[in-house]
Amino acid sequence: MPPAFIVDPKEIDISHIVAGPDDIRKYNPHRFEVEQVHAILRYDTENQICIGLRHIRPDEWWCAGHIPGRPIFPGVLMCEYAAQTCSYYFMRSTGFNGFLGFGGLENVKFRGTVVPGDDFVMVTKVVEIRPRRAVFNCQGFVKDQMAYQGTILGMAV
């Protein structure tokens, strides 16, 4: 059974963008094929929530090989997308001079497929932020269906 929603996906407006690629690049060092967050839909320091958007395109590098004839967004990229959404929140809210690196993953579950043409929304919520470490709960949605859940542990590098 999926966990309770951090934010009800029916309440998320994917046309309401608060940060685009140029703003995201101010906080996240990822570039080119590794950039997973296309937009930020919500940056809420009061509730410690950040919501990212990723458009899954049919011309992406992984489509030809994962899975030929029926491309499915790789789970490892779902994890990276969640981590980059968390990184944006951490870097913007703390002003840390460096970057937030992967420290670990916990309780990751893939609950559905994400395919080309989908708008994949990632909801992240702070569990704790310390000067050198951050923990976030994450939930990824396609429309109102949860496709991903997990806990991201980040370490300040």
* CA 97/CA 111 separation, integer angstroms: 35
Strands 39-44 and 49-55: antiparallel
**pLDDT > 90? residue 52:** yes
Residue 136 has pLDDT above 90, yes or no: yes
> Which whole number is the average pLDDT over 30-41?
96
Model pLDDT, residue 139 = 98
Structure confidence at residue 2 (pLDDT) = 83
Whether the Cβ atoms of residue 49 and residue 93 lie closer than 8 Å to each other: no
Among 143, 145, 110, 134, CA closest to 50: 134
At position 20, the amino acid (one-letter code) is G
Active-site position among 30, 38, 55, 66:
66
Length of the chain in terms of residues written: 157
What is the DSSP pairing of strand 119-130 with strand 39-44? Answer: unpaired
Q: Which residue do the tokens 């899954």 mark?
A: 56
Q: In order of start, what are the domains of the chain with their CATH numbers?
A: 9-156 (3.10.129.10)
Q: Model confidence at 1, in pLDDT bands (50, 70, 90)? A: confident
pLDDT for 4 beyond 90: yes
Q: What is the pLDDT of residue 35?
A: 97
- Report the share of the chain in percent with pLDDT over 90: 96
Res 131 pLDDT > 90: no
Q: What is the 3-state secondary structure (H, E, C) of 65-111?
A: CCCCCCCCCCHHHHHHHHHHHHHHHHHHHHCCCCCEEEEEEEEEEEC
Region 43-70 average pLDDT: 96
pTM (whole model) above 0.95: yes
The structure tokens listed for 52 are 């990212």
C-alpha distances (whole Å) from 148 to each of 131, 138, 145, 156 are: 27, 8, 9, 24
Token readout for 68 is 């030929």
Indicate if 66 belongs to the active site.
yes
